[in-house]
Amino acid sequence: MKTLVCVTPGTFEYATAAMPEVKEGYSLLRIKRIGICGTDLHAFEGTQPFFSYPRILGHELGAEYISGDAAGFQTGEAVTFIPYFNCSKCIACRMGKPNCCAAINVCGVHVDGGMREYLLVPSESLLHGEGLNFDELALVEPLAIGAHGVRRADVTPGEFVLVVGAGPIGLGTMEFARIAGGKVIALDINDNRLAFCKENLGVEFTINGRKENVVERLKEITNGDMPTVVIDATGSLRAINTGFEYMAHGARYVLVGLQKGDLAISHPEFHKREATLMGSRNATRQDFEHVIDSMKKGLVKPATYITHRISFDELKDNFASWLDPETGVIKAMVAFP
């Protein structure tokens, strides 16, 4: 089978690999769609934590079930899967948090992923397609990341939720904050992304952090209160550190974005707010099912996100271009025949 390997940062090579052999506890999938995400892009440029090379990238997948021992799944069925392979034994898993398993293997990060024709995955990780098409199924995982961050924040109807970063993860976070009843504020430095938020997601409030005084605009929008939920989806150290300034007293700050540096905060400013700081890593089956249900109900329209389409054979030559914001890429979708 044909694969695409990230050999070193900045270098992809097509290769031929043997077909995976189906074994107990695993199922074989034929990959039909691959969504390109920030993790893939950061791995390609060498800025992704927890990463080693060579690596086959790709974990946003729509696939066809071929064979295996997954109960209730049929050959030819459209599926997706939860790409965070957990140990089921550690303290996190025992607490019902397999998304932050102490020995986690994330597909396409710690172990080889889906930029290939066939992929063997744990049978317990599979999710039924529920009538969704392959494009939609490939978008379940990135949307689940946002859904999990919103659930971590425990967003309640009517409260202001500031989402920093209008990339694909941030956009999904905005969607599920809206579904939870939050009044969403989008903060980014890209006018095109902010326009996308207004026109396609119905976000009422947008702020360009490069052109506007963010604190003053937030005060204006929230009648002086500031947002009670701040969610970072940038992975930018500067943005994350600045986000502490945007919290209301009593606010929750959720870090969905990831970077390699150290956080720097004013302890008195944080303390006087009795603020809460939380990490949000990956997502759980509950979040995946919430995304699939929201898609089926029409609350989320996945096709809105797809701005670029190519075939698997074109992926090597096009991938690097998506590092440039000028391409206008929000979600690139890769298709197999």
**Helix, strand, coil tally for the chain in percent (to 5):** 35, 25, 40
pTM: 0.95
The pLDDT of residue 186 is above 80: yes
The pLDDT of residue 59 is above 80: yes
Instruction: Assign 164 to helix, strand or coil.
Output: strand
The pLDDT of residue 300 is above 90: yes
How far apart (Å, rounded) are the C-alpha atoms in residues 157 and 164? 19
Write down the residue that tokens 């990463």 correspond to: 51
Under the banding of pLDDT at 50, 70 and 90, the label for residue 140 is very high
User: Which domains occur in the chain, in start order?
Assistant: 2-138+301-335 (3.90.180.10), 146-279 (3.40.50.720)
Q: For the segment 65-115, what is each residue's pLDDT rounded down to a tens digit?
A: 999 999 999 999 999 999 999 999 999 999 999 999 999 999 999 999 999
For 246-258, what is the mean pLDDT? 96
Q: 48 vs 99, which has greater pLDDT? A: 99
Element (H, E) at 294: helix 285-296
Contacts (Cβ under 8 Å, ≥6 apart) of 262: none
Per-residue pLDDT at 337: 81
Tell me whether the omega of the peptide bond preceding residue 98 falls within 30 degrees of 0, making it cis.
Answer: no
DSSP letter at 20? P
